[in-house]
Amino acid sequence: MWEQQIPAFTGAGYRFIAFDRRNTGVASEDLEALAAHLHLERFHLVGTAAGGIVAVDYALSYPQRLRSLVIANSIVGVQDEDYVEMTRRLRPAPEFNAIPAEIRELGPSYRAANPEGTRRWKELSQHSAPQATRNRITYAVLETIKVPTLLLTGDADLYTPPSVLRLFAARFPNCESVVIPECGHSAFWEQPEAFNRTVLDFITQN
């Protein structure tokens, strides 16, 4: 899914490691095993959507590894009851899940202008899977993440609209937040230039 990021980040002088999540197990533990195997001491971690949950879980478990944390277009995995109740209003089942994935997750501006990009996104997104976590993620534990954090969403994200991003931003103690215009749940794919520039600016400062 990162094919529009790799050239931009390597061109800026960064080593880019695209982590492919398994369909089983705890991805944050897999990620730590990979970091150890590659002899990574500290690194910038970027996660989008379900990968954002993995990134939060990793930051809670292995904070000493991280230079910075970027969470894009993610529901973060918060389990507080008031948040869960809000998500039921935001994405009522079964109606929401009956909507085709590309309509739920790609903004209308992108779908209208990029039929080939929409087709390619659909092809790649078929391999996504739910993710188990080591930690029970709550608002309270988010407040313990001290690493510099960037939260990012799209203004047309049906999962994490700007109002929900603000809820998360209020919980991370060392946080910046950005809303990318004309963008749904896949900012890295729909608006790669804006996404890449925003993330590169952030990690360069950290």
Domain boundaries, the chain: 6-204
**pLDDT tens string 1-22:** 999 999 999 999 999 999 988 8
Any residues with CB less than 8 A from the CB of 141 and at least 6 apart, and which?
A: 60, 135
Query: pTM for the complete prediction?
Result: 0.95
**pLDDT tens string 139-176:** 999 999 999 999 999 999 999 999 999 999 999 999 99
Which CATH number does 6-204 carry? 3.40.50.1820
